Amino acid sequence: MSLPTQSPKKVFIKTWGCQMNVYDSQRMQDVVKPLGYAPAEDMADADLVIFNTCHIREKATDKLFSELGRVRPHQKTKAENGGRMIVAVAGCVAQAEGAEIQRRAPYVDMVFGPQTYHQLPEMIARVSRNTGAVLNTEFPPEPKFDHLPQDRANPGVTAFLSIQEGCDKFCTFCVVPYTRGAEYSRSVAAIIAEAENLVQNGAREIMLLGQNVNAFHGEGIDGQSWRLGRLIYRLAKISRLKRIRYMTSHPRDMDDELIAAHRDIPQLMPFLHLPVQSGSDSILQAMNRKHTADDYRSTIDKLRNAQPNMALSSDFIVGFPGETDEDFKATLDLVREITFAQSFSFKYSCRPGTPAAAMQNQIDEKLKDTRLLELQSILRTQQEKFNHSMIGRTLPVLFENPSGREGMLFGRSPYMQAVRVAGSPRLVGEELPATITDAGGNSLTGSLQLADAA
């Protein structure tokens, strides 16, 4: 029998869902690093396996259990060899279904929600002492951000920075207010410190994250409450920070200062993900979205007046309870009128415990399928058209990493489009003009000026 695995230990994290989960997974990595955990390439080699889950639509729990089924043999093998693999379930499924996970998969050592992962060292210590499995789905009074490590080593060229979490909007279809908790904004000083650290460690673009990011209202350095617009004006002063983005926004919270920031700040990218969900006022009301279709139109007008290059992205839900053909047509009309550069569209998915789940007028799955196909075909055409309109133009591209093929680079345009060009790997982290030569549905091909490419 071999000896129990000694350090260096390894952690493997699998992440589902939104950018916030990607951020959380990176931060979990930061939290366990001082305990000697280095990232594992392969689940089988890990001493700590964390599944960071998403609960936004159905099937999340099925996916989790199938993944747990895959990890179990590795955990057994490790134990047979005298080692130990700690298996943890984190994120929103953990928050919503913690007890059920422990019942169905008793070999899971730790279950914790999105607000408690800063306590990972204590949880790991408890499990290692064999005092039983850990279930930690509290909403602690002290926010986790105050306890996370300050340093964000190796953030990459584009880094995520969580500035706000949770949601008080209570859209009737959505689990987020229950799994992530009440709306909470970090202080401006803490955000600036993290942003400066990211830039020092190589980040050139920061994506400010929040479930309802433009509801941000953190304590400013002048003691006043700052909203997102003012925060962006301040972050734009960080030298070497070339790009700022933010997501996900709510139409209700697009205030004038934020719109003005799009006019004034060249580092703020002219691309906005602003979910509308539906183009029908009666559905928007049943969804408790707190805005009408015309409110959305007028916000888009203001944004396009402030920044004529603005490209838009949105989320849509089809087949919300009670959605008539007319309601659905109103969504199609709004899409045709506004035109989106990119979008995400979903069939309404019934989430137990949310108000919409109890609505009587649920829509037949087949009808949802038909509507989704129709909507997606229009959205796809708009995206392709938008991408094709780039051919012949010269766009600034921020290079993130070498692309799969030798001698190629991967970067993004200001509009979030993936761009591939031939160029040297030393250009990673640089923003350079690329002339777009070809466009597909999901990416662009371009070429650098000869002097730049070498």
Q: How many residues does the chain have?
A: 454
DSSP 441: S
Contacts of 309 (CB under 8 A, 6+ apart): 270, 414
- Decide if 397 contacts 421 (C-beta within 8 A): yes
Which tokens belong to 128? 């290692």
Minimum distance from CB of 297 to ligand 5AD (Å)? Answer: 18
Structure tokens at 341: 């550069």
Q: Do 316 and 334 touch, CB atoms closer than 8 A?
A: no
> Beta strands 205-209 and 158-162: pairing type?
parallel
**295 half-sphere exposure, CB direction, 13 A CA radius:** 18
Binding partner selected for residue 211 from ligand 5AD, ligand SF4, none, CB under the kind-specific 5 to 8 Å limit: ligand SF4
* Residue 252 touches ligand 5AD, criterion: CB under 6 A: no
Shortest approach of ligand 5AD to residue 379 CB, angstroms? 13
The identity of residue 235, as a single letter, is: L
Best CA proximity match to 238, nearest among 207, 209, 205, 264 = 205
Least separation in angstroms between CB 342 and ligand SF4? 18
* Given 74, 250, 368, 371, the residue binding ligand SF4 (CB under 6 A): 250
- Binding partner of residue 384 among ligand SF4, ligand 5AD, none, CB under 5 to 8 Å per kind? none
Span near ligand 5AD by CB under 6 A; candidates 226-234, 341-349, 411-419, 423-431: 341-349
Q: Which of 174, 254, 293, 395 binds ligand 5AD (CB under 6 A)?
A: 174
Mark the segment that binds ligand SF4 (CB under 6 A) among 172-180, 291-299, 339-347, 396-404. Answer: 172-180
Q: What is the largest CA-CA distance in the chain?
A: 71
169 binds ligand 5AD (CB under 6 A): no
Instruction: Look at the alpha carbons of 225, 230, 231, 237 in this order and tell me if their dihedral is positive or negative.
Output: negative
Cβ nearer to ligand SF4, comparing 185 with 387: 185
Q: Is 32 in the site for ligand SF4 (CB under 6 A)?
A: no
Among 270, 346, 355, 391, binds ligand 5AD (CB under 6 A): 346
Give the binding site for ligand 5AD (CB under 6 A).
Answer: 56-57, 173-174, 275, 277, 315, 317, 346, 348-349, 351
Give the binding site for ligand SF4 (CB under 6 A).
Answer: 167, 169-171, 174, 176-177, 211-212, 250
